[in-house]
């Protein structure tokens, strides 16, 4: 698909000795494809930090978010508001041969930058920054007010932009720990300023208020512990 940037490979060598980046619950390592049409090209390997409370659902949430983001980007590209392509990196779940641990593999993105966050931080001083704010606004309109695609980040190339690690916020909070729900959507639009790429016909939430501290990083929902329950390790 035109909106997808894929591994086109089944094998890579990952350098797990050096962390390339780290998020709140994942680590990123660099590597190179060793098979397929991308042989020799750089890739990244994302692994969840051991013991993370998100461990079990992490991969599935990532795949669900990317699938929904790709659908929204396809619709946005179809509007032809900009004359360059927006594509989304498509991660795949691969297995390390030695440890059998799972990892997400996707092509490396050059010239990485961030354009907005799920708490409403925005970079709209460049054309791409403005186009990304418009994409976020459009996602709400496209989904009939059910979703907002944000945390838009990636790399600008001569003929377009490649995005990775997006966040989808939903009214029913179905896209994992970075989905801040309706409060997140209303908060995002409290800070959104329409630009030349936005269309006046696009809908916005009727309630708009800042409910989260605005930060460039990705905000996650606190996971509530169930204090009434026994610990797994508790002895009787």
In the complex, which residues of this chain contact Zn ion (CB under 5 A)? 137, 194, 198
Specify the residue, 84 or 208, whose C-beta has the smaller distance to Zn ion: 208
Torsion angle of C-alpha atoms 8, 10, 15, 16, degrees rounded to 10: 120
Give me the least distance between CB of 207 and Zn ion, in Å please.
16
Specify the residue, 16 or 203, whose C-beta has the smaller distance to Zn ion: 203
Give me the least distance between CB of 136 and Zn ion, in Å please.
8
Residue with tokens 């989904």: 143
Give me the least distance between CB of 195 and Zn ion, in Å please.
7
Please enumerate in sequence order all residues whose Cβ is within 8 A of that of 106, keeping only pairs 6 or more positions apart, or say none: 5, 7, 43, 44, 46, 89, 90, 91, 92, 164
Specify the residue, 54 or 188, whose C-beta has the smaller distance to Zn ion: 188
Specify the residue, 56 or 196, whose C-beta has the smaller distance to Zn ion: 196
Torsion region of 215: left, alpha or beta (phi above 0 gives left; psi -120 to 50 gives alpha)? beta
Give me the least distance between CB of 161 and Zn ion, in Å please.
18
Q: Helix, strand, coil: what percent of the chain each, to 5? A: 20, 25, 55
């Amino acid at each position: 698909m035109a909106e997808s940037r894929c591994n086109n490979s089944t094998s890579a060598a990952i350098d797990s000795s050096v962390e390339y980046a780290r998020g709140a619950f994942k680590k990123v390592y660099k590597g190179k494809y060793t098979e397929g049409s991308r042989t020799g090209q750089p890739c990244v390997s994302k692994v969840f930090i051991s013991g993370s409370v998100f461990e079990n659902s992490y991969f599935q949430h990532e795949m669900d978010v990317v699938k929904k983001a790709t659908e929204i980007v396809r619709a946005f590209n179809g509007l032809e508001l900009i004359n360059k392509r927006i594509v989304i990196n498509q991660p795949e779940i691969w297995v390390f041969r030695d440890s059998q641990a799972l990892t997400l593999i996707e092509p490396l993105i050059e010239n990485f930058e961030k354009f907005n966050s799920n708490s409403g931080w925005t970079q709209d001083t460049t054309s791409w920054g403005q186009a990304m704010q418009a994409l976020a606004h459009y996602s709400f309109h496209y989904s009939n007010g059910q979703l907002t695609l944000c945390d838009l980040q990636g790399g600008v190339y001569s003929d377009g932009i490649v995005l990775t690690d997006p966040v989808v916020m939903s009214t029913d909070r179905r896209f994992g720990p970075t989905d801040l729900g309706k409060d997140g959507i209303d908060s995002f639009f409290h800070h959104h300023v329409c630009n030349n790429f936005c269309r006046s016909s696009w809908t916005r939430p009727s309630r708009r208020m800042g409910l989260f501290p605005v930060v460039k990083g990705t905000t996650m929902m606190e996971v509530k512990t169930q204090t009434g329950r026994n610990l797994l390790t508790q002895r009787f």
